[in-house]
Structure 1
Amino acid sequence: MRNSSWLAGCNLALILSCYPNIVKAQTAPESNEVNVAAQSSISTQDAKESYTPQYFETFAPATAYDMVIRIPGFTLAGANFGRGLGQGGANVLINGERLTGKTDVGEQLSRIAAKNVVEIDIVDGASLNIPGLSGQVANITTKSTGISGTFEWTPEFRPRLEPNYLRGNVSLSGETGNLTYTLGLRNNAFRQGNYGLETLVDSNGTLFETRDEIGRDYGENPGATVDLTWKPQANHIANLNFEINQFTYDGRESSRRDAITPRGRDLVTYFKNSEDEWNMSIGGDYEFPLSIGSMDGKLKTIGYYRFESSPTVSQFEAFENDMRVFGDRFERQADEAETILRSEYSWSPKTGRDWQIGLEGAFNYLDIEAALSELEDGVYVARNLTGASDRVEEKRAEATLTHSRKLSDTLDVQASLGAEYSEISQSGNDGVVRNFIRPKGFISASYKAGANKLWRAKIERQVGQLNFFDFIASTDLNNKETRDSNSALKPSQTWRAEIAYERSFGTGNQWNTTLDGTIISDLVDRIPIGDSGNAIGNIDSPAYTYSLHSDITLKGENWDMKGVELNAGFGLHFSHVDDPVEGFDRRLSGDSLWHWNANIRHDIPKTDWAYGVNVSQERNARQYRVSTTQKYTFKGPFVSTFIEHKDVFGMRLNLQLSNLLKSSDDFEREIYTDRRDIGVLNFTESRKREFGMLLRANLSGTF
């Protein structure tokens, strides 16, 4: 009860201040448009580029998602992992309105039939009166066509794995009176695995053991969604979203180990890791016009709740001469929840000037009960793992003031100033309670240098999102690593600057380049604790990152190659931080080094056939822990090809064959005798695992 009262208090001040003026709320005449927002956030002249359904006809899209991913130079950005609901959110609007809560933007667009899309406008976020949105934003205007639905089935086949027949989704949309609804069912099932040889060499480079290993990961993720939109009168809109999911996971790895020297050992080991999770979320908002004194604005209240229950079991056992010689089991029950209330009041004193006040309160918790046991005389006996059972809570409140202004026909500016208060408590560490006050905000601008040229810039102060699991002790049975608890963990803080250039060369031809840099305080990483412990904590010295990204889309019509489209892009990343164990300057742990991709698609004119090829490659930096370092390498490049027919009994069929070059998952781990600063290299594990080619079929359509 006290937690819900605390949350409500963060929003009560704003709502009560509006109460005496609610009777002054103005209503406009009913719109004749069906299922289109009466007051859109975007006007036609603001749109950088507009795409009608005719543009997408050659791709035969079934859903709005199929259309959005074909827009040149545009990349979907979701809001699932942000800190609270915050500002902005996903870079997609539906009829000028933001998506509710922490909705998966891709899945929501997949539930909108392509025939219901009227137009998609790509605009710059700084030109909108929506705080926090920057960069390219897609506003999708929809209409109602009665009851409609979409479906998709994606079976997959890989060597040494069971076929995946159960991946797919179906949705049904319609309206009755002022209520619009969408119902969805899905299963994001997956089948993954690899196999290969691992070698162990000592610090002198002498091979002492080989391991023939097979790993596989199976998962089922069925779920159901309900999305409701209610428009009781003009300029009043309410949304309600409900989602429930089940996630079952079964991961297994077998290893046949052969000793090469006396240091090695002849063993057969089995590692199992399973989870039987269920989760649900419900989110809603209500927006209506409201006058406060001379300000004619609108008030939006938003609520969100999510709960997840995740029982997991991991077990490692070793056999020698068919006799079980040792084993470990780690069981954990994790319950976590997030509750958020937010209120936003927006008004525009004159054309081209918009203001918004935002208040948000949140209460999050993670409650874990864990048990470690060890095989002894054929029976698992409980062992102590200090700090593995615990509860972490966070109460958080923030307030922001945002102003957007059109300085000229070519220059838009948006600025926000705010602060966040956070109280973090951990019950298992003598009731430790800590409080933080963090400033946050941004200033962004966009400049239209010409009809087809746009410059964007943004400077932002961010507060990082903590993973509550990082506070609590845990163990990795497969790699024999234990992590201590750390009640001193705190959110990172980041200064981020970005400048971007966008150039359009006629419809369908686009070039985007972005340069950004960050300064991170209290970077979250693996750090030493005490004389011999290790945990996830904060690095005292600042960290720096820089990156350059560029992508281009070209249409073949300019070179007499009708139906051909080329997409290509690359990214370069640089970073450095002082290693918390040895003190040397290094990359951020696991940071991206570089990546590139290129794909070409040919829709054969006057036919329903299309084909294409995609090539991509990436490299990541080494990951550093207190007593180990490791590096994952996917050598690549990863090559896939597809063939597509757009009218198989009214459906679209896409057949894709991936990993044509038979690339492998490579991994190297260095294990030290103690912490890296006081120990020496003990041995190195190196493995190369193949996973074969993947055949995926995708059958989609509407009804």
Structure 2
Amino acid sequence: MRSSLFIYGACFAAALLSTGAVAQEGQARATFPASFFSDANPQNALDLLERVPGFTLVEGSEVRGFGDAAGNVLVNGVRPPSKDVSLVEYLERIPAASVVRIDLLDGAVVGLDAGGSLLVANIVLAASDSSSGTLRINGEGVGDGRVGGSATATWQGSFRGASLSASVQGGRSGLELLEGQEMLFSGDGSLIEEGPLRDRRAEDTFASSLLASGRILGLDTILSGSIRTYAWGRFSENHLVAGGLLTRPRTDVEAQNYDRRASEVSLQLSKAFDRHEIRFNALRNTSDVSDSSSIEIRRTASDFDSSLFISDSDQTEDILRLSWEFKSNDWSTQFALESVRTSLSAESAFRRTLSSISQPVESEFTQVGEVRGSAAFSATYSGLPAFIIVAGLASERSRISLTSPLNSSNTYQFLKPRLSISWAASSKMTLSLSAERSVGQLDFSDFVGAQQVGDGSSTQTNADLQPPQTDAFRLAVERRWGESGSLGLTLVREQWKNLVDVVPVDLGQGVGNIPEAESYGFDIEVTWPVDFVLPGAELKLAGAWRDTSVRDPFNGRSRPPQMLEHDRTTLSLRHVLSSRLTYGGSYTYTPPRRIFRRDQFIEFLEGESMNVYGELTLREGLKLRAEINNIGGQDLDRSLIRYAGTRELADVSSVEIRERIGRSSLAIQLASTF
């Protein structure tokens, strides 16, 4: 309660003092001209951005609506107009030769387009009518002889006064081979059975996009469209032998397939006059998803058990957004109105065969619809020496309706205040303090019951879900030195309300809310030039740590939230040996992921991974890159503990352990500009 009063009161007071939130000239924390990147022989804007010290690219959030889906990159001061086209894909279209500089801006100064990021990169482009493009051909292979290949082509030019950019990509990638052992133990620790397993994975993609911009009837107009398909598949086979015997009484075969087809069209109109700018966005995207998972336990050709779960869903989203900006010497403001209409139709079916006898098929059809409206205001005052004060307030109202079997509807309404104060202690050091309330969105799939065939558990439908709320407090310090040295440290304190997790539903379990939870920790980002050891080399460290706890709704004990995935910690080295040759490598640690069910506990441990790469410029505009991933293999273990009743209160009935190693893979890329 105190934290809520503090946020509301502070934001209200700051709003009374200010009328404005967009970046002003000269407010960049750091500026990197095109010459800063010349030693890397970059081909596109993404190559440049990866070299910016103290910055990590953050893609937009996969949420409904446009305002909350922003990433941390602007192009000429404006966020890209598409949700479907990723920032990586968007930046790969922009030739490096057209980039004048990259400015790092305080996210608070950027305002509503910052998407909540503390640091935002603004890529400033030079006006040009010339055309250019890139072509990249990729190949990769893993230890079982499988190979994959993909290609990406981008082009940027003009036609009859309009600027055009396009991209097309497709192929097979993401090849993985996991090999190891599976062991099943009884509750008292006795080995029941064990055997080798082999797990293969791959993904197939195709995507194309087109963007056109120009002036129509005095309005700056951007029209974009995209289509894409994505298919991921996994096939695992495990031969189990009874403990102490040489026979093979059983073979387990697991398969998963995920297919997604999506399309999007968007229109952006903007008009700048005096110190004002008005922008209108209209966007529609559709997606069709088919997801299936199966497991077959075969003892003989005619004696087997199997389970198959299939889910097919169609989702459509329509967005209208109107925003206004005002800039002056010391003040700036932003105001935005947004309307979103989303619908999802999902059909699921579960089929089980026990001892070769088919059971009745369980099926369910669910429709979910949402109408969402929001208004957001952000104001910035920069008239005090070395200080920037930002206040914001957003309001949203949504109604989610569900058809059979739930036949219910809920209305949600929230206020989301925000306050941020930044202090430039020197030209190289900035401190900032922020307090913010955010409200998450309910995942439509959480309203659809599901069967996890891999572990035998299920979740029921739940019409009483509430969106999660977070009160976050951040204290950040950024220190830069030399040409490329930087240190960013952010202390984080979060208090959650209605955290979405797995909870008791009726006599089973389903996706629901945990009333309260809390978290604290830090994020760190370091770029450290090590010229004193290797001239032209630098180290980068990016990571996060959190101490998070919730009270388990099944047994009342403290535990982490369900499947909480913190950022990985990565330490990387990059050495520019000459104008033609660059090499480097990285070490990555991935925190464990945990699943908590009523009578089960599952833990995934990915372990550490190491990668190395080398880049050779064959001639101007032509570059060869080779990399080896997962040197020495990467552990990917899973532990599944089943209980005879409520988890940790009842006795353990069995323990299933999978110890797997991901094989190393080799990837080669040939990239050219034209």
Compared CA separation, residues 269 and 661, structure 1 to 2 (3 A): closer
| Residue 553 (structure 1) aligns with | 527
Q: Deviations over 1:456-487 (max 9, x none)?
A: 22211111022111111111222222221111
Instruction: Tell me how far apart the structure 2 counterparts of residues 576 and 126 of structure 1 sit (CA, whole Å).
Output: 29
Contact 1:249 1:276 in 2 (8 A): yes
Mapped partners of 1:342, 1:191: distance in 2 = 40
Q: Secondary structure at the match of 2:202?
A: strand
Give matches, 1:529-608, under 5 Å. Answer: 529-531=505-507, 533-540=508-515, 542-557=516-531, 559=532, 561-592=534-565, 596-605=569-578, 607-608=579-580
Q: What is the distance in 2 between the residues matched to 1:378 and 1:648?
A: 63
> CA–CA distance in 2 between the matches of 1:181 and 1:697?
30
The residue that corresponds to 2:599 in the other structure is 627
What is the distance in 2 between the residues matched to 1:233 and 1:72? 41
Query: 1:501 aligns to what SS in structure 2?
Result: strand
Structure 1, unaligned runs of 5 or more = 1-39
- Within-5 A mapping of 1:27-426: 42=23, 44-86=25-67, 89-102=70-83, 103-128=85-110, 130=112, 132=114, 134-143=117-126, 144=128, 146-160=130-144, 162-166=146-150, 168-187=151-170, 189=172, 190-232=174-216, 236-260=219-243, 266-289=249-272, 297-348=276-327, 350-375=328-353, 382-385=360-363, 388-426=364-402
Is the contact made by 2:305 and 2:355 (CA closer than 8 Å) also made in structure 1?
Answer: no
CA contact (8 A) 2:555 2:646 kept: no
Whether contact under 8 Å (2:239, 2:248) holds in the other structure is no
Deviation at 1:677, TM superposition (A): 6.6
The residue number in structure 1 matching 2:449 is: 473
Shift in CA distance, 379/673, structure 1 to aligned 2, threshold 3 Å: closer
Shift of 1:448: 0.6
Q: Distance in 2 between matches of 1:676 and 1:88?
A: 37
Q: Is the 8 A contact 1:276 1:311 kept in 2?
A: yes
**Aligned residues with identical type, % of pairs:** 22
Output the amino acid matched with 1:65.
Answer: L
1:684 alignment partner in structure 2: 655
CA deviation after TM superposition for structure 1 residue 197, in Å: 0.5
Q: For structure 1, which segment, 129-138 or 561-570, has the greater mean C-alpha deviation from structure 2 after superposition?
A: 129-138
Q: CA deviation at 1:619?
A: 2.3
Matches of residues 402-551 of structure 1 in structure 2 within 5 Å?
402-531=378-507, 533-540=508-515, 542-551=516-525
CA distance in 1, matches of 2:593, 2:291: 30
Match of 1:673 in 2: 644
TM-score normalized by the length of structure 2: 0.91
Letter in 2 for 1:48: R
Deviates more, 1:412-421 or 1:95-104: 95-104
In 1, Cα distance between the equivalents of 2:367 and 2:309? Answer: 18
Structure 1 pair 675–617 and aligned structure 2 pair: CA distance change class (3 A): same
* Aligned match of 1:18: none
Query: In structure 1, how many angstroms separate the alpha carbons of the residues matched to 2:354 and 2:107?
Result: 62
Structure 2: gaps of 5 or more residues = 1-20
Distance in 2 between residues matched to 1:399 and 1:593, nearest whole Å: 30
Q: CA deviation at 1:122?
A: 1.4
Letter of the structure 1 residue corresponding to residue 598 of structure 2: V
Offset of 1:232 from its aligned partner?
4.0
Cα 1:659/1:314, change in 2 over 3 Å? closer
> Is the alpha carbon distance of 1:594 and 1:289 closer, same or farther for their aligned partners in structure 2, counting shifts above 3 Å?
closer
* Aligned-residue offset at 1:301: 1.1
Residue in 1 that maps onto 2:10: none
Partner SS state of residue 26, structure 2: helix
> Residue 16 of structure 1 aligns with which residue?
none
**1:595 Cα offset (Å):** 5.1
* Structure 2 SS opposite 1:45: coil
Which amino acid is 1:429 matched to? Answer: P
Aligned-residue offset at 1:88: 8.1
2:14 counterpart residue number: none
- How far off is 1:113 after superposition? 1.0
Change over 3 Å in CA distance of 1:464–1:178 after alignment to 2: same
Provide the secondary structure at the position in 1 that maps to 2:144: coil
1:567 is aligned with what amino acid?
K
Question: What secondary structure sits across from 2:54 in the alignment?
Answer: coil
CA contact (8 A) 1:503 1:512 kept: yes
Larger CA deviation: 506-515 vs 317-326: 317-326
- Is the CA contact 1:135–1:456 (under 8 Å) kept in the aligned structure 2? no
C-alpha separation in 2, matches of 1:512 and 1:191: 35
The 8 Å contact of residues 159 and 691 in structure 1, kept in 2 or not, is answered as no
Q: Report the Cα offset of residue 323 of structure 1.
A: 2.7
Equivalent residues of 1:668, 1:684 under 8 A apart: yes
Answer yes or no: is the 8 Å Cα contact 1:161–1:193 preserved in 2: no
The answer to whether the Cα contact below 8 Å between 1:41 and 1:97 also exists between their aligned partners in 2 is no
Are residues 574 and 343 of structure 1, via their aligned partners in 2, closer, same or farther at CA, if it must alter by over 3 Å?
same
Report deviation, 1:530: 1.9
Q: Which residue identity lines up with residue 631 of structure 1 in the other structure?
A: E
